Amino acid sequence: MKPQAAFFEQLGPAGMVSLGQVIRYASDAGLLVITDGKRNDIGSTATAYAKAYLGAGDASPWGSDSLTVSPYLGRDSLEPFVDVCDERAAGVFVLVKTSNPGGGLLQDRVTDGQTIYARVAELVQELNQGRIGESGYGPIGAVVGATYPEQLAEMRAAMPTSWILIPGFGAQGGTAKDVIAGFDDAGMGAIVNNSRNLIFAHRRDEYSQKYGESRWQDAVSAATDEMNAVLATRIS
């Protein structure tokens, strides 16, 4: 479950109280929670964000398992998150290559034969070293958009021990064919994010007549099953 912090913050302090309740509800239901906050800062401030969001149950005040973080401030801005991941068995997803058209402005720039996003991937891979679990993956993951399938394949190879969170599927145009490059040979290693298409499934043509507004939960369930079926066909 990946709540988008911004949509709660848009409602002010009361919205943030709701975010806390949503995270606790999902966590109590046994779901892993990725708080999508794209936070980061330097030094003690990065540590404050890490301690805020990382740690399920009572280990952190928000209680989420994971957080999305921005890399613009460099390695020393990411290390406090790594430290807290070690302490609390949590994880982070570092923005590597984002799904929006404008993401390339900085991320695709090439210096010394390497794009900025590839340099960030290298950093993610470095930070994950010595932290690989039984699954073959470590706590330092990456965000790579579904809208750039070629870069997704490149990034899967560059970060063989990192979970890749893949936004941009569905509403942003990414298809099942586009995201397969994010998975490893065993069909592991990627988390496909399809927020709007699932949350608002009852407004999609194929579900609106069948379920309508009142049965939105059934529409979400049907849309999720459909997405999983499409992904399973592609990955197997």
Distance CA(6)–CA(210), nearest Å, equals 31
Q: Which of 29, 30, 102, 209 binds a copy of itself (CB under 8 A)?
A: 102
The Cα angle at residue 137 between residues 131 and 143, in degrees rounded to 5: 105
Distance CA(13)–CA(9), nearest Å, equals 7
Q: Which of 2, 51, 88, 202 binds a copy of itself (CB under 8 A)?
A: 51
Residue 64 near a copy of itself by CB under 8 A: no
Dig out the tokens for 133 from the structure: 């679990």
* 82 in Cβ contact with 57 (< 8 Å): no
Residue 212 near a copy of itself by CB under 8 A: no
Residue 180: CB minimum distance to a copy of itself, A: 23
Residue 131 near a copy of itself by CB under 8 A: no
Query: DSSP of 83-138, one letter per residue?
Result: HHHHHHT-EEEEEEE-SSGGGHHHHT-EETTEEHHHHHHHHHHHHHTT---TTS-E
Q: Which of 69-77, 81-89, 207-215, 219-227 is the region at the interface with a copy of itself (rule: CB under 8 A)?
A: 69-77
Residue 71: CB minimum distance to a copy of itself, A: 7
Q: Which of 67-75, 85-93, 149-157, 183-191 is the region at the interface with a copy of itself (rule: CB under 8 A)?
A: 67-75
**Catalytic residue (choose from 38, 51, 97, 210):** 38
Q: Which of 30, 110, 150, 205 binds a copy of itself (CB under 8 A)?
A: 110
Residue 58 per-residue DSSP state: T
Residue 106 near a copy of itself by CB under 8 A: yes
Query: DSSP of 144-206, one letter per residue?
Result: E-TT-HHHHHHHHHH-TTEEEEE--BSTTSB-HHHHGGGS-TTS-SEEE--HHHHHTGGGSHH
38 belongs to the catalytic site: yes
Q: Which of 13, 30, 134, 205 binds a copy of itself (CB under 8 A)?
A: 13
Q: Is the dihedral of CA 65, 66, 67, 73 positive or negative?
A: positive
Residue 54 per-residue DSSP state: B
Residue 85 near a copy of itself by CB under 8 A: no
Active site residues: 38
User: Which parts of this chain interact with a copy of itself (CB under 8 A)?
Assistant: 4, 6-7, 9-17, 19-20, 36, 38-43, 45-46, 48-49, 51-53, 60-62, 70-77, 95, 98-107, 109-112, 116, 119-120, 123
